[in-house]
């Protein structure tokens, strides 16, 4: 692969320019028709001259359009910048705030030490930061839901579940609702996450919410437990601690389905490898090979009996007690 330094500059700048456009709600301001530079500056609270420079760059990238009369408009191809669009990328853009950028900017620290740069920069871990900042916490939750939407549909259609299931660290219950919609054989679904997360979720006759931490006893009785994109946020020691809590609550005849990327099984390993470096610098987590998963799972007292590919970067790793 030949890397052109100027293409590299554009890629880096485009990512941050899109974040700024999302933060200023530029797409929403243009959704119902063209606006002048002066109007956009007033709506966003930005300096008109520098806003014009941002818009000039984004127009060259066909993100926005500068009309002949000097106003700016939103092309149809950029509707995914709108938060309410079904394929919106805005939640993902906004959750990459300056703390995450700063952390990845100190990737060399993480490579040297094996520790997350985020903790070094801010004196606490990323999840503590989310607890302290409701705005960032909301942005993170929306981004995870956005990323998970298509994945959850694929999981609900490709993996078979029966009886009572539980999603550990399942956020707002999006995956469970899709499984309940697609699979009549599921009798009950349990959503387990932090109390402040599950208290916002509406229970139904088939969906039960339980608040708690997966680092503490779970006390969940289900035929299938799901851990989706949980273990990759944590170090091996922390991931093993989570698995020990699962083993303590799971029945011998029950199964655990770990839904994660597997580096040497993915169709798009370069994407997982990129995510791996982000996880290192921000969380201290990691994407894992099948051998690394097998080591963790065996140490926890579980054994892998089946692996099912779900998406180009996700697989379902089925486990039972040894």
Q: Quote the tokens at residue 48.
A: 């008109």
How much is the pTM?
0.86
99: exposed, middle or buried (Cβ count in 10 Å: 0-12, 13-18, 19+):
middle
Query: What pLDDT score does 149 carry?
Result: 80
Question: Phi and psi dihedrals of 165, rounded to 5?
Answer: -125, 155
- The whole-angstrom separation of Cα 252 and Cα 319 is 11
Query: What pLDDT score does 1 carry?
Result: 62
C-beta separation of 54 from 20 below 8 A: yes
Q: What is the mean pLDDT of residues 15-22?
A: 96
Q: Quote the tokens at residue 321.
A: 């007690």
Q: What is the mean pLDDT of residues 82-104?
A: 92
pLDDT in tens, 131-140: 899 898 888 8
pLDDT in tens, 264-307: 999 999 999 999 999 999 999 999 999 999 999 999 999 999 99
Q: What is the mean pLDDT of residues 201-210?
A: 95
Question: Phi and psi dihedrals of 46, rounded to 5?
Answer: -100, 160
Angle between helices 37-44 and 48-60 (to 10 degrees): 110
pLDDT in tens, 26-40: 999 999 999 999 999
Query: What pLDDT score does 144 carry?
Result: 86
Q: Quote the tokens at residue 322.
A: 């040894």
- The whole-angstrom separation of Cα 226 and Cα 176 is 10
Torsion of CA 7, 8, 9, 15, to 10 degrees: 100
Query: What pLDDT score does 98 carry?
Result: 92
Average pLDDT, rounded, for the chain: 94
According to DSSP, residue 35 is labeled: B
Percent of the chain with pLDDT over 90: 86
| Complete DSSP assignment for 161-204 | --EEEEEET-TTSHHHHHHHHH-TTEEEEEEEE-HHHHTTSPP-
Query: What pLDDT score does 7 carry?
Result: 84
pLDDT in tens, 249-275: 999 999 999 999 999 999 999 999 999
DSSP-derived 3-state class of residue 135: helix
Is the pLDDT at 241 greater than 90? The verdict is yes
Tokens 């690394």 correspond to what residue? 292
Query: What pLDDT score does 273 carry?
Result: 95
- The whole-angstrom separation of Cα 199 and Cα 211 is 8
- The whole-angstrom separation of Cα 142 and Cα 293 is 28
């Amino acid at each position: 692969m030949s890397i052109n330094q100027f293409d590299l500059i554009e890629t880096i700048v485009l990512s941050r320019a899109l974040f700024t456009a999302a933060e200023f709600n530029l797409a929403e301001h243009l959704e119902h028709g063209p606006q002048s530079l002066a109007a956009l500056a007033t709506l966003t609270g930005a300096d008109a001259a520098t806003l014009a420079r941002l818009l000039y760059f984004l127009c060259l990238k066909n993100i926005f359009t500068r009309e002949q009369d000097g106003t700016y408009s939103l092309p149809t191809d950029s509707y995914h910048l709108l938060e309410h669009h079904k394929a919106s990328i805005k939640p993902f853009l906004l959750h990459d705030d300056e703390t995450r950028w700063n952390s990845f900017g100190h990737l060399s620290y993480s490579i040297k030490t094996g520790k997350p740069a985020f903790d070094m920069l801010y004196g606490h871990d990323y999840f503590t930061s989310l607890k302290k900042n409701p705005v960032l916490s909301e942005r993170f939750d929306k981004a995870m839901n956005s990323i998970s939407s298509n994945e959850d549909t694929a999981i609900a259609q490709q993996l078979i579940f029966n009886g009572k299931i539980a999603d550990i660290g399942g956020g707002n219950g999006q995956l469970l609702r899709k499984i309940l919609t697609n699979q009549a054989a599921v009798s009950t679904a349990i959503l387990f996450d932090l109390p402040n997360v599950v208290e916002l979720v509406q229970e139904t006759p088939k969906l039960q919410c339980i608040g708690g931490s997966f680092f503490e006893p779970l006390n969940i009785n289900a035929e299938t437990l799901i851990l989706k994109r949980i273990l990759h946020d944590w170090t091996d020691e922390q991931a093993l601690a989570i698995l020990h809590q699962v083993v303590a609550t799971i029945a011998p005849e029950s199964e655990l389905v770990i839904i994660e990327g597997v580096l040497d099984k993915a169709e798009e390993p370069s994407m997982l490898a990129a995510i791996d470096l982000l996880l290192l610098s921000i969380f201290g987590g990691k994407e894992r090979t099948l051998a690394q998963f097998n080591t963790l799972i065996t140490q926890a007292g579980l054994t892998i009996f089946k692996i099912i590919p779900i998406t180009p970067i996700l697989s379902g790793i089925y486990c039972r007690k040894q």
